[in-house]
Structure formats: structure tokens, C-alpha cells
């Protein structure tokens, strides 16, 4: 069982806010407001709340990795970002292939 202070890599549709306290999500920013961004990981979307100084550095269609704490909501959950990592330049298709191989070999769940 993961520790409460450990970020678990998940697809958005795999997150269960009752047991997943901190998660890492990789996806594209598809929308942005003054207080949040909407991330699409190709399987689902999630609203991520950020500090204003973090939002200024993020653009629409930017590939990011979000490390955040889950916030249960009526629609499932939302995230409070603890850290946002810019993944501009990352070959997303290659990243997904490597991730699939790790899963196949049992290196990650």
C-alpha cells in the first residue's frame, strides 16, 4: 500500500480519491482559468487547482506532469497541485510505449 505522502502514477480514470491521496497525472492542458487548469490524459479529464503564480507559467496545449492531492467531488475528484512539471519536448508516444513495457514486465502496476 502506498504511503500517504507518496505520489502514485495513475491515469485519471484509475484514480479513487478514497484511497489515492496523492497522484501523478501526465496530460495536456486543454483549458485554463484564473485558478485552475483542465488536464486531458487521453482517457479522461480532471480539473487541477493551482496557485496564481503557477498558472501564469502554463499554456493551453502544454504537456505537463501534475503532482497533486485529490479532492473528492460530486463528479469524482479534482486535484490541488503541489507541483507542475513542464514536459514540453517529451515524445508522448514513446513515453506511453515505455510505460506499457514496464507494465508488461511487472515493473509498475
Range of the domain at 37: 8-104
How much is the pLDDT for 4?
61
How much is the pLDDT for 51?
93
CATH code assigned at 48 = 2.40.50.140
How much is the pLDDT for 35?
95
* Residue 27 is assigned to a structural domain of this protein: yes
- Looking at the structure of the chain, the number of domains it has is 1
How much is the pLDDT for 6?
85
* Residue 100 is assigned to a structural domain of this protein: yes
- 3-state helix, strand, coil split of the chain in percent (to 5) is 20, 40, 40
* Residue 50 is assigned to a structural domain of this protein: yes
* Residue 56 is assigned to a structural domain of this protein: yes
Q: Which residue positions in the chain have pLDDT lower than 70? A: 1-5, 108-109
Q: 100 and 60 in contact (C-beta within 8 Å)?
A: no
**Cα separation, 57 vs 75, whole angstroms:** 27
How much is the pLDDT for 99?
85
* Residue 109 is assigned to a structural domain of this protein: no
Amino acid at each position: 500500500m502506498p504511503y500517504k505522502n507518496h505520489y502514485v502514477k495513475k491515469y485519471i480514470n484509475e484514480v479513487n480519491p478514497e484511497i489515492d491521496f496523492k497522484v501523478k497525472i501526465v496530460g495536456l492542458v486543454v483549458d485554463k482559468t484564473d485558478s485552475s487548469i483542465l488536464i486531458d490524459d487521453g482517457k479522461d479529464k480532471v480539473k487541477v487547482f493551482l496557485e496564481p503564480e503557477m498558472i501564469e507559467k502554463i499554456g493551453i496545449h502544454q504537456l505537463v506532469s501534475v503532482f497533486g492531492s485529490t479532492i473528492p467531488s460530486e463528479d469524482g475528484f479534482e486535484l490541488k497541485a503541489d507541483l507542475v512539471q513542464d514536459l514540453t519536448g517529451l515524445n508522448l508516444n514513446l513515453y506511453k510505449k515505455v510505460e506499457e513495457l514496464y507494465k508488461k514486465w511487472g515493473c509498475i502496476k
